[in-house]
Amino acid sequence: MKSSSVCPLAITVLISLFALTSVLRGNDGTVAEYDPATTEELRIRDGLPNFFAKLKAGQTVRIAYLGGSITAANGWRPKTLEWFKTQYPNAQIIEINAAISGTGSDYGACRLEHDVLSKSPDLVFMEHRVNGGGGYEAKSVEGIIRQVWKKYPKTDICLIYTLSQGMLKNMQAGRQTWFGKVMETVANAYGVPSIELGLEIAKREQAGSLIFKNDAPVPGKLVFSRDGVHPGDEGHEVYRQIIARSMLTMHDKGHAGAHKLSEPLEANCWETTQLIPITRAALSSGWTPIDIKTDPVYRESFGRTNAMLRGGVKCDQVGQTVTVKWRGTTLGFSDIPHGEGMEVEVIIDQGEPITIKRPQREKTRHARFFYLPEQMPGEHTAVLRVSKLPAGHSYYLGQILVIGTALP
């Protein structure tokens, strides 16, 4: 029996590194020469011409905010939404709040259709650099862009780079982060603009006017965050200012029209995905529906848990199974790891069992998700079995993340 941590795959890293050294094409067919290893506050590329054309014409415009907890907060998202409404009072601007704490581009790619595309966006903000891509960084970022443009060729996309404390030294040296390099490579290839929020913060921190992390206000200083990741209101206001001035720079740039898709950079990029409820799988008899109104584990971090699991099932005994058939490359599951020693075992296509540990990482019982090892494209069957449960605990499952298409 082998153990899998279900972490970044070597092949993904190798493919991504190869892409970083490639000559890149813009979406209009020109070569994009931005260096993915460095960063600037604004890289316009093809701009947001379709979005601004609708704003200027006073039409209905839908802005989707796809990201994690930094976007979910009462911060840069509502602040920029209000700025757009003030700047373009004749347009009807509608928000699509597609932010879920603890999620990156991987989960974003899987839930894109349900959470974003079903609502007909005109602009999609992608905020994923801090939370990452679950080991499928390049494939998921490219997959999001391709999914958007396959369904809505005239929808514009903009990458938003927030930051955490560990990124400060890179920012102060003008260097992009490792995941930022991957995102910039994809942005170059597709002509998608990117806005770097980290440079301004890093400059102020280096100059001494900003303290990146502190528990309390400091007279004469802007305290950016309490935890080194999530900005306070003043930090979010700086984010808003950067985005606003970037929008003013871009408002007359680019040529409106349909975005064109060429061959993907990444083999098996995540351009075909599904997010389906666990109840669509074949379940053994020991699973019961979660009462989301009363279950204490489910409700402990309700906003995040309900966004990730969206209901679901639980079991209180080992040996219970979930069987999923799909056509594609991999699967993921959203769950609630809690207690010590929780494990599941997965068999793919009657192969060797894979043990996946599901530890509780924080005091709060947060919902999380994990992926099975990537398979060759094709039809597959996975059987998940609950193999270890701490005494008095239940195992919770909510959604299946399908890279490909679920089969009956």
Give the tokens for residue 141.
């970022």
Give the tokens for residue 376.
């060759």
Quick check: 24 and 18 in contact, CB under 8 A? no
The segment(s) of the chain belonging to CATH 3.40.50.1110 are 8-250
pLDDT at 33: 79
pLDDT at 327: 99
> If you search the block for the tokens 């290839």, which residue do you land on?
189
The residues pairing with 261 across neighbouring beta strands, listed in sequence order, are none
Residues 6+ apart with CB under 8 A from 292: 298, 299, 306, 311
CA gap 157, 172 in Å, rounded: 27
pLDDT at 78: 99
CA gap 388, 391 in Å, rounded: 9
pLDDT at 32: 60
Three-state SS sequence of the chain: CEECCCCCCHHHHHHHHHHHCCCCECCCCCECCCCCCECCCEECCCCCHHHHHHHHCCCEEEEEEEECHHHHCCCHHHHHHHHHHHHCCCCEEEEEEEECCCCCHHHHHHHHHHHCHHHCCCEEEEECCCCCCCCCHHHHHHHHHHHHHHHCCCCEEEEEECCCHHHHHHHHCCECCHHHHHHHHHHHHHCCCEEECHHHHHHHHHHCCEEEECCCCCCCCEEEECCCCCECHHHHHHHHHHHHHHHHHHCCCCCCCCCCCCCCCCCCCCCCEEEEEHHHCEECCCCEECCCCCCHHHHHCHHHHHHHHCCCEEECCCCCEEEEEEEEEEEEEEECCCCCCCEEEEEECCCCCEEEECCCCCCCCCCEEEECCCCCCEEEEEEEEEEECCCCCCEEEEEEEEEEEEEC
Look up the pTM and report it. Answer: 0.92
Tens digit of pLDDT per residue, the chain (408 long)?
333 334 433 334 333 443 443 344 444 445 467 999 999 999 999 999 999 999 999 999 999 999 999 999 999 999 999 999 999 999 999 999 999 999 999 999 999 999 999 999 999 999 999 999 999 999 999 999 999 999 999 999 999 999 999 999 999 999 999 999 999 999 999 999 999 999 999 999 999 999 999 999 999 999 999 999 999 999 999 999 999 999 999 999 999 999 999 999 999 999 999 999 999 999 999 999 999 999 999 999 999 999 999 999 999 999 999 999 999 999 999 999 999 999 999 999 999 999 999 999 999 999 999 999 999 999 999 999 999 999 999 999 999 999 999 999
The dihedral formed by the CA atoms of 47, 49, 50 and 54, expressed in degrees to the nearest 10: 130
The dihedral formed by the CA atoms of 170, 176, 177 and 182, expressed in degrees to the nearest 10: -170
Phi/psi at 67 (5° precision): 180, -160
pLDDT at 52: 99
Q: Which amino acid is at 366?
A: H
Quick check: 384 and 335 in contact, CB under 8 A? no
CA atoms within 13 A on the CB side of 45: 32
The residues pairing with 38 across neighbouring beta strands, listed in sequence order, are 175
CA distances from residue 199 to 40, 151, 247 in whole angstroms, order as listed = 7, 34, 17
The segment(s) of the chain belonging to CATH 2.60.120.260 are 273-407
Strand 395-407 and strand 343-348: the pairing is unpaired
> If you search the block for the tokens 């669509």, which residue do you land on?
280
**According to the CATH classification, is domain 8-250 in 3.40.640.10?**
no
Kindly report the CATH number that applies to the domain delimited by 273-407.
2.60.120.260
pLDDT at 13: 39
- Write out pLDDT tens, residues 199-219: 999 999 999 999 999 999 999
Entry field: residues in the chain? 408
